[in-house]
Amino acid sequence: MGPDPRYFSVRTAAGNLQPVRCAGPRPDFISGRAPVFPLCATFRHHVLLPGFPASGVIALAASRRLFLILNGKAAQREDVRGAIAAVRERGNHVQVRVTFEDGDSERYAKEGMRLAREGEIDVIVAGGGDGTLNQVVNASLVEDSSPKCSFGLLPLGTANDFAHGAGLPAADPWAALALCAEGDATSIDVGEVENRVFVNLLTGGTGSRITVETDPAMKKLMGGAAYIFTGIGRLHDLQPCRGEFKADGFAWKGEFLAMAIGNGRMAGGGIELCPDAKVDDGMLDLMVVPFLSRETLGETLRTIAQNGLGELANTVVRAKADRFEIQCDDELFVNLDGEPDSGRSFDIRVRPKALRFHLPE
């Protein structure tokens, strides 16, 4: 009689083989050969299946407990439901909380942090766009500045700027959720201004006002391009901002069209505002687009929309620091990962290694 198909051996960190019981037959007994797993993540445990040589060591994920905070607009999507089912079928546990009204993301994030402290979950996953991620992370860090769990993103928004900039599979819910369930987490920074944080970028100026005023129906139809069309359509009343930016060894003052301070790289529907930004370098990247003249405003917006900031390299102001101070003559409209705010003065700092986040290698 052959080996019991319900058992396999896990190679522990000490190098020993430990027998572990499966809920069902081992994959090799089903397929008749060593199983092949999707290469969408780095798996946590190496497994040596009985009957295979040492060179046949494969990767197999241990069960992980996910707490998914899902934007209500995406709850009925078949690909999302399929991704959740597939991750569960691989032995992981997924609790789902669906948002319905303002404040739900924050309330569920606090619940997730409590469960993490009690050892009941391993990962909090934000299922939505950049705004959902911002709400979840802010509420989580208010609840506990040193989270006991890791974080992940199931990108389901319009722009998905953080996901694109970080290389997350924004078009594949199964791959994104599998990364949270079976991939390693790495420590990342967040930006902090007053009592709020941002994971991706803080943007300000005319561009941020455009983001706030872009029609949701247009966003759904056109995606990130909707922001640009809104801006071009409002050229007649767009006004430049005037302010001063300071950091250690850096200062700039003048009129500007847009600014960004990036922990991540992209905003505004896929525009690479801070191409050199890294989420784990302990620094923030500043980008300022000076306001040259009203005659060139339309062309500047079109250039950014079509080619990013590459053609404005000689005009754009850039700096890198762990802290920036901004002082403006008038109210400056800003967005933190798409969440609106405003003010005349801002003290923006990096909070190094604030989160453990599931990102591709």
What six digits make up the tokens of 225? 């391009």
d(CA 100, CA 26): 41
d(CA 59, CA 219): 40
Which of 111, 182, 192, 339 does the annotation list as catalytic? 339
What six digits make up the tokens of 219? 């966003």
To the nearest 10°, report the CA torsion of 106, 109, 114, 117: -140
- Check: CB of residue 167 under 8 Å from CB of residue 360: yes
Answer yes or no: 331 catalytic: no
- Check: CB of residue 241 under 8 Å from CB of residue 205: yes
Q: Which amino acid is at 85?
A: A
Compute CA distances 352 → 3, 166, 279, 282, whole Å.
50, 17, 9, 5
Catalytic residue numbers read 339
